[in-house]
Amino acid sequence: MERGLSRNTLASYRRDLDRYAEQLTAAGIAELAQVRPKDVTGHLAALRAEGLASSSAARAISAVRGLHRFALRERLVTHDAAAEVRPPSPPKRLPKALDVDQVSRLLAVPAADNPLGLRDRALLEFLYGTGARISEAVGADIDDLDLGEQSAALLRGKGGRTRLVPVGGYARTAVQAYLVRARPTLAEAGRGTPAIFLNARGGRLSRQSAWTVLHRCATVAGLPIDGPYAVSPHTLRHSYATHLLDGGADVRVVQELLGHASVTTTQVYTLVTVERLREVYATSHPRAR
């Protein structure tokens, strides 16, 4: 709470620490002061033995390290048992991004002749048109939108940080159509929630339901929904950033649009564009080989 982390991050850390507590209890350890470095490394080994991905194991150990640092700072223990335990380094993976044609196919799937179809199209256009995280999109309210000539949306990101992002013409048109022709119908079944995106019962659309919308549309569009290149809500965010950089946007501008606290996080997208430059060069230049 002191760090201003999102509810989803807090829930993840809580699950990680609950698992750690269970491991310590099974080992006969009742207090943090009894924990030794070998117990922490044993927990990490158990996580990997369960088949947990290196990225998930790294997050779990980071939560454990944070707990022990906190306990030492609060003088609940006299030593930090996790200080020397390093989380596993996840493999460096490039973000999965769709090309422009694939995005166009995906956005064209929802029907525009019924309330849910209008909502789904508005949701997908909003995600791609603003680079919003799925939690930011479903958490946005009507008052967070300005669909005038200088259209913009106020997004609430990680750590309680807010940012104002432009809303492009396609997204503005889709959202306006949804607000005028579909949202009032959906809202009739609810209790007056201020959310932009509503479910069939008139309540705020959940992250899981929004994921289901994307999954269904990706299937119809012939895009992968399983495996390493499966389309997910974050895929549209990756595509948003990659296409901006492909179009010549400055990485610092993209950082602000994505709401990244550090430009280092944004710079991973430049790797995507370098790979694409290499592909174009390899397929186009007569001396590329």
Dihedral sign (CA 238, 240, 245, 251): negative
Q: Nearest-CA neighbor of 48 among 90, 13, 80, 93?
A: 90
Handedness of CA 277, 124, 133, 181 (dihedral sign): positive
Rounded Cα distance, 140 and 196, in Å: 6
**pLDDT above 70 (res 95):** no
What are the two backbone dihedrals, phi and then psi, of residue 117, each rounded to the nearest 5 degrees? -65, -40
Give the pLDDT of residue 136.
Answer: 93
Q: Which of 167-176, 195-204, 230-239 has the lowest mean pLDDT?
A: 230-239
pLDDT digits (tens, 9 = 90+) for 251-288: 888 898 988 888 887 887 877 777 777 877 788 877 77
Q: Tell me how many helices (H) and strands (E) the chain has.
A: 13, 3
CB 156 within 8 Å of CB 139? yes
Annotated catalytic sites, by residue? Answer: 133, 158, 234, 237, 260, 269
Structure tokens at 209: 């339901």
What domains does the chain contain, in order, with CATH numbers?
Answer: 7-73 (no CATH), 100-281 (1.10.443.10)
User: What is the residue whose two structure tokens read 């949202």?
Assistant: 183
Task: Choose among 97, 94, 114: nearest CA to 106.
Answer: 97
Tell me the pTM.
0.71
